[in-house]
Structure 1
Amino acid sequence: MKPANVIQERVLEFLKQYPPFSLIAAEELQRLAGQVRVLYLEPEQVLFKQVDTPHDMFYLVRQGSVRLEQGPEGAQRLVDVCDEGDVFGARALIAKKDYSSTATAAEETLVYGIPITLFEPILHHNPEVALYFAAGFAAGAPVQQGRMQETNQARRGLSGYTSPQPLHLEDVLTLDTNRNKVTCTAATSIRLAAQIMSDKDSSFILVVDEQEQPTGIITDTDLRKRVVAGHVSIDDPVEEVMSAPVISIHPNPHMAEALLMMMRHHVKHLCVTADGSINSAVQGVLTEHHLLLAQGSNPAILVQEIRQTQSIDNLPAIRDRAEELLQKYLEQEVNIAFIANIITEINDALVVRALQHAESILGPPPLHYCWLSIGSEGREEQLLRTDQDNALVFADAHAADEKEAQAYFVKLAAQVNEVLVKCGFERCPADMMASNPKWCQPLHNWKSYFHSWIHEPTEKALLNASIFFDYRPVHGDFNLATQLTNYIYEHIQQEHVFLPYLAKHALQSPPPLSFFRNFIVERSGEHKDQFDIKLRAMTPLVDAARVLTLDNRVAGLNNTFKRFEKLAELEPQNAELYQEAAMAYEIMMRHRALSGLRNRNSGRYINPAQLNKLERQTLRNTFKPISDVQELLQVRFQLNYLG
């Protein structure tokens, strides 16, 4: 019996634990392990220098750590730290160029040298291994365009997860026009329209003009509420009872798009027209039934239950079901923007139902008002049930009337906040809630707040601005929010120093390029040795997107990755960077949500020791756009010259 090669077996067992070697077939990996060189490095020993000719191998840290530094000798800057399981020195394998950094042992270190001649055939014939390097998971690999896109692709492809029951939200919905195009003219009698609906076994009939463009729609609900109830005669024309205008959509929409439109407009029918507008010919109608048939778990049903429930005591159980839906969407790799939109619609429905309940107890509001979501919910990014952030603006009036109105609205907000607590949303520790009289104010006081924050940008003012600039109207008189927005943008244009100060505030968190090392994690307190993904990674991108959007005078766009996508359109010269930042933020949102669901918390604090190598590498890649965006802010607003 041939004696086993003990060193080869040890190398093999180690390689199996880490990508990309864990992705290689057993037989190939066995051969590779037999040719690996084991190197011992003393502390501060240099393995290779920047601009050295590439070695005939790349490296894997077995034990210890290796610093990668760039720049002239004596003035080098740290670009990465490789620890156990990290691949580095892959530039020779991928780019066939001189080393772009210097590799130095930070402590006593063992590294494995992987022969390039043996590994190249594996790289060329194994797409998963190639994707690992293309995504930049190997430290010191050349930076490539589309890095975040490939990182995201690698995150999905290398995680080993396969969805047992795909949701097909990107599937296209097609129409049978013979069945789903039921029309009449405005002069048609209600009696005849009802007969046509009955003959066609249809829950609707579209009202069209001579060009077959839609002018209205009648549904079973319209007939019950307006005709059967006796408000109009069945011999009256349909224009007396039709709902107008219709909500239109373009032909063959994706299921996700149709679902969101129904939820946002509170309708069960979408009119499909030739170009998607009401100014083109009707092709048919998409109904909620189409979506129910196409998708087993429909979030529109949850929203409908929230809106229609007679007792608010039912709301917590409905919101719990939304959490289950969130988990399924995340696990099945549903687009993060769609997930965020869905959860936002559900959360908004909760707020509206709570407000309606509070009004039924307190009576009609004394003045027009608008409920504002702020913070992550204002940005449509609150996937998990974290703490509440909200405010309330009401119409201006005489001082006495405003005082009386404020007392009413504070009580209203307190009841809403309590309902949300029961649904799993904790109170804001900083009391940034509408039940706090400070954040429940008439319009002129809100204008005064923003005037002070813009024209006197102290550190506290900038903190408040960064929170309240992301407000989003949810319920009530949206015109109040519009007036406030117009006022804000007018004064930002007047006060030229404000945006540079806001940009400086956005640079307070340094980019976490190597968060798994001890000097980046929390040093003390409840979250000692944990990484704060919100403060150190997500907030820098949120703040940068906000400043750059304000600088481009884009109003009404709060969502961080949508802001970056819009910026990519407005600044083609920086499009690639903004697209990278948007994808990085989406990856971090997904990771935080999964972490929160797994640990039953906010997902904000992550224990690096619990991350596998692939998760660490994925997150590390998302940090590169942070430093690039912050550098752009530094240059654009000339922050080196700002006192």
Structure 2
Amino acid sequence: MSNSVAENIANFLKEYSPFSYLSHEELIQVATSIGVINLDKHKILFQINDKLHDSFYVVASGVINLSVIADAEETLLNKCYAGDVFGLRPFFAKNNYMMTAKAREDSIVYAIPIAVFKPFVAQNPQVLDFLLESFATNTRNPFDKENRGKLITDNVYTEGQQNEIQYFQSLAYNKTPLKVSVSAIAKDTAQLMTENLTDSVVVTEQNHPIGIVTDTDFRSKIANGRFPLISTIDKIMSSPVITVPENVSVAEAQLLMLKNNVSHLCVTVDGSDKSEVKGVISEHDLIVAQANNPGVLIKEIKRSLSPKELKLVREKLTDLIQSSIAKNIPLPHIYNISGEIITAIIKRSIELSILDLGSPPARFAWFSIGSQGRKEQFLLTDQDSFLVFEDVAEEKYRDVKDYFLKLAKRTTTILEKVGYDFCPNGHMASNMLWCKSMSDWIKQYNNWMKTPGEKSNDISSIFFDYELVFGEGKIEDTLDDLILKNTKNNALFFDYLGNDALRKNAPINFFRKFNLEEEGDHKGKFDIKNKAIMPLVDGARLFAISLNLKGINNTYLRFKQLAIADPKFSEIYLNCADAFLILSKFRTLEGLKNDSTGDYINVEELSKVDKEKMKNALGPMKELEELIKDKFQLTQFS
């Protein structure tokens, strides 16, 4: 690269963090190694599940859209403009991209080789702090108040990203806005707004928005005498209108209001001013949304000092879930929000236990498994967890394990008081079987995977749905690597896991009737958890492990990723993804209605339409079952 080109790039970069922390000589060194990428409109730079690149990126010109999979389609997460840094996943993670980067318009992007930039990160704490904080929390350039050089996280579903959750949090707004024509009289419009108790009216032509009038416009333009009351509305309206699409999130709406210094946004079908008006978002709507913001609940969790205080937050979460479902907010969004809040509750419970017991004698990691490990826990189901502590000298082992067993017992007791029952199968970190050293866990997983059905009759597939809640990330990496190693050429393990996925009783019989419970407390009811949802969970897990889909535990997202990774059978996977959401919603509604786990449904209470909807959702299970049999050629454990 010529010196003049490198000089121009260096001068560009120095205006933005974290490059502003580097000297001119260092910037020249970086600039000479940069690759310049020209992206045509709609061109993809990288997409979900792509292997990581050896560079990260800075937008030189144009706009890059970052999107993630949500609600059966790619949903916009953020827009990157000149100076914005993105694509940092290769710095901090080893699994594939969890996000798609696509040019919104013709754009130029600088590709900065990570190998070249890493020495400057190591030498400059400010650069490292910037990258770490932004990657972990999705803050918009934590050190630049002018909001230039935003650094956008690629770490989509991680703990602590409250701003990011707001990109998934749907927004309630006025879906029946007042509309007037451009020739309407100001006096008549004011009277109309008063009668309808609203603070805005949209000015339209052929139902397309051309302006908006608010209380502020009347105060600043009519009340002070600038325009008479008999003026036509076009004299006082604000134009052009700032428009957004119907599925706009809280964060996007808030940013647009701040950026454009407006108090109202107009919702249209496609987000432009050339399509039909569907609603109006006001500042008040944002205030209401912020009151239910998961970030507010998480702050309450961090301040909590007792199980009682944590229980109050958990009750608020139940209300949030119920209201979100009532508003028809997509289930994947609610899963994400609920999962983060429950994770925060567990983490705080561990912290309170440590405050009582004193500092841990060794490094450790606490993992959630089961529905919480998959971020699918809406209802007050039981606890599932395990604990791993680092290997210690033999003479210290007993004391170290005793400490962690006490820690686990205190933590699980706190969670029980919050409302999460003890696991009836004992799958909890407080059980000495599931609280042990790294070496012991390596032996455990080796037994499960190398000799399934022999030394390991107690194998439980939920131990392959783990989520790190608290502690050392390196311990999680070790487990990831161990499982990957043991899956290679291990037909016996997949034979066992495949047959285990097929052991559940059929949900409907030959006559297309629900197979109901024949005895016990739930006689005459349908076990939607074990007969409908768990076969999908088990199937998604089986294929995800076989295709090495790391870092994705949620059943819905697993099926979505499987459709990308294994396109030949994408239709089956996508049908299963939809079925999982439908069945999960039935279970959640049942649980909320009866304050229960929602596992058993009285189908006689369902409408005819709902019965058919549930039966149709069970259809893809048969296709999944046949695919499992075909893919894994099940034999030994059949």
After TM superposition, the score normalised by the length of structure 2 is 0.57
Distance 2:79 2:482 in 1: 45
Instruction: Tell me what 2:33 maps to.
Output: none
Distance 1:375 1:392 in 2: 14
Distance 2:521 2:510 in 1: 18
Aligned match for 1:295, one of 289, 313, 316 = 289
Instruction: Tell me what 1:473 maps to.
Output: 468
Distance 1:289 1:507 in 2: 53
Q: SS state of the match for residue 592, structure 2?
A: helix
Distance 1:490 1:310 in 2: 42
Instruction: Tell me what 1:264 maps to.
Output: 159
Distance 1:412 1:314 in 2: 20
Computing the radius of gyration over CA atoms, which structure comes out larger, 1 or 2?
1
Q: SS state of the match for residue 426, structure 2?
A: coil
Q: SS state of the match for residue 464, structure 1?
A: coil
- Is residue 516–residue 608 contact of structure 1 (8 Å, CA) maintained in 2? no
- Is residue 495–residue 635 contact of structure 2 (8 Å, CA) maintained in 1? no
Instruction: Tell me what 1:53 maps to.
Output: none
Aligned match for 2:478, one of 480, 483, 488 = 483
- Is residue 374–residue 391 contact of structure 1 (8 Å, CA) maintained in 2? yes
Distance 2:636 2:406 in 1: 48
Distance 1:516 1:318 in 2: 46
Shift in Å, 1:482: 1.2
Letter in 2 for 1:475: F
Instruction: Tell me what 1:397 maps to.
Output: 392
1:247 pairs with 2:247: no
- Is residue 544–residue 633 contact of structure 1 (8 Å, CA) maintained in 2? yes
Letter in 1 for 2:289: Q
1:350 pairs with 2:345: yes
Shift in Å, 1:398: 1.8
Shift in Å, 1:554: 2.0
| Cα distance, 1:517–1:423 mapped onto 2, change above 3 Å | farther
Distance 1:521 1:573 in 2: 35
Instruction: Tell me what 1:451 maps to.
Output: 446
- Is residue 462–residue 505 contact of structure 1 (8 Å, CA) maintained in 2? no
- Is residue 515–residue 521 contact of structure 1 (8 Å, CA) maintained in 2? no
1:591 pairs with 2:600: no
Distance 2:516 2:128 in 1: 63
Instruction: Tell me what 2:435 maps to.
Output: 440
Shift in Å, 1:293: 3.9
Instruction: Tell me what 1:564 maps to.
Output: 559
Aligned match for 1:307, one of 302, 311, 320 = 302
- Is residue 369–residue 394 contact of structure 1 (8 Å, CA) maintained in 2? yes
Letter in 2 for 1:302: L
Q: Deviations over 1:49-100 (max 9, x none)?
A: xxxxxxxxxxxxxxxxxxxxxxxxxxxxxxxxxxxxxxxxxxxxxxxxxxxx
Shift in Å, 1:557: 1.7
1:50-69 mapped onto 2 (5 Å cutoff): none
Q: SS state of the match for residue 375, structure 2?
A: coil
Q: Deviations over 1:488-518 (max 9, x none)?
A: 2212215332112210111112442359977
| Cα distance, 1:516–1:390 mapped onto 2, change above 3 Å | farther
- Is residue 534–residue 604 contact of structure 1 (8 Å, CA) maintained in 2? yes
Letter in 2 for 1:535: N
Distance 1:531 1:622 in 2: 14
Distance 2:298 2:510 in 1: 39
Letter in 2 for 1:540: P
Aligned match for 1:551, one of 546, 551, 555 = 546
Shift in Å, 1:613: 0.9
Shift in Å, 1:355: 0.9
1:537 pairs with 2:424: no
Q: Deviations over 1:323-366 (max 9, x none)?
A: 00000111111111110111111111111111111111100000
Q: SS state of the match for residue 370, structure 1?
A: strand
Distance 2:582 2:489 in 1: 37
Instruction: Tell me what 1:523 maps to.
Output: 518
Shift in Å, 1:268: 6.1
Distance 1:515 1:287 in 2: 55
1:409 pairs with 2:400: no
Q: Deviations over 1:569-611 (max 9, x none)?
A: 1111100110000110011111111110001100001111111
Shift in Å, 1:304: 1.1
Distance 1:599 1:386 in 2: 13
Distance 1:468 1:240 in 2: 38
- Is residue 364–residue 390 contact of structure 2 (8 Å, CA) maintained in 1? yes
Distance 2:340 2:555 in 1: 17
- Is residue 352–residue 474 contact of structure 1 (8 Å, CA) maintained in 2? yes
- Is residue 545–residue 563 contact of structure 1 (8 Å, CA) maintained in 2? yes
| Cα distance, 1:313–1:600 mapped onto 2, change above 3 Å | closer
| Cα distance, 1:556–1:332 mapped onto 2, change above 3 Å | same
Instruction: Tell me what 2:628 maps to.
Output: 633
Distance 1:515 1:612 in 2: 22
Distance 2:163 2:606 in 1: 43
Distance 1:354 1:414 in 2: 11
1:65-104 mapped onto 2 (5 Å cutoff): none
- Is residue 509–residue 540 contact of structure 1 (8 Å, CA) maintained in 2? yes
Distance 1:490 1:288 in 2: 50
Distance 1:477 1:540 in 2: 32
1:325 pairs with 2:212: no
Q: Give the RMSD, CA atoms, in angstroms.
A: 4.0
Shift in Å, 1:294: 7.5
- Is residue 307–residue 415 contact of structure 2 (8 Å, CA) maintained in 1? no
1:22-41 mapped onto 2 (5 Å cutoff): none
- Is residue 447–residue 488 contact of structure 1 (8 Å, CA) maintained in 2? no
Q: SS state of the match for residue 343, structure 2?
A: helix
Distance 2:619 2:625 in 1: 10
Distance 2:299 2:471 in 1: 19
Distance 1:323 1:485 in 2: 32
After TM superposition, the score normalised by the length of structure 1 is 0.57
Q: Deviations over 1:518-566 (max 9, x none)?
A: 7711111111111111110111111111111111122222111111111
Q: SS state of the match for residue 620, structure 2?
A: helix
Distance 2:127 2:503 in 1: 60
- Is residue 162–residue 295 contact of structure 2 (8 Å, CA) maintained in 1? no
Q: SS state of the match for residue 491, structure 2?
A: coil
Once the two structures are overlaid, the 10-residue window that deviates more, 575-584 or 452-461, is 452-461
Distance 1:307 1:573 in 2: 46
- Is residue 262–residue 268 contact of structure 1 (8 Å, CA) maintained in 2? no
Letter in 1 for 2:409: A
Letter in 2 for 1:392: L
- Is residue 393–residue 442 contact of structure 1 (8 Å, CA) maintained in 2? yes
